């Protein structure tokens, strides 16, 4: 996070104030649920994340480890998207 955003000052600031971080964190949970065939629960987790962050990530989307979403309000990542496997980052 600190490599990609010079405005990030502390770890606490990132954990509490970065919606892109929150959206990716919840996506990890939603994606795990999706892969366990708990599709409704994965979609519900994704929906809650969208409500809280303004960033919509389908639980079926594949997102790599080093993806960073900065200023992500209105970002939509669909089910067939693969980020971080072929792309390094998305910045809105």
Residue pair 77/58 in contact by the 8 Å Cβ criterion: yes
Question: Which residues lie closer than 8 Å to 79 by C-beta, 6 or more apart?
Answer: 58, 60, 61
Angle among Cα 67, 7, 22 to the nearest 5 degrees reads 45
Per-residue pLDDT of 1-60, as tens digits, reads 777 788 888 989 888 999 999 999 999 999 999 999 999 999 999 999 999 999 999 999
48 close to 19: Cβ distance less than 8 angstroms: no
pLDDT of residue 8: 85
- Do residues 54 and 19 touch, judged by C-beta distance below 8 A? yes
């Amino acid at each position: 996070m600190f490599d990609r955003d010079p405005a990030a000052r502390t770890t606490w600031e990132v954990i509490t104030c970065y919606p892109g971080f929150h959206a990716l964190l919840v996506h990890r949970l939603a994606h795990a649920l999706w892969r366990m065939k708990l599709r409704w629960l994965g979609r519900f987790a994704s929906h809650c994340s969208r409500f809280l962050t303004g960033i919509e990530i389908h639980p079926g989307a594949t997102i790599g480890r080093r993806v960073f979403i900065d200023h992500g309000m209105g970002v939509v990542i669909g089910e067939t998207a693969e980020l971080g496997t072929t792309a390094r980052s998305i910045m809105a």
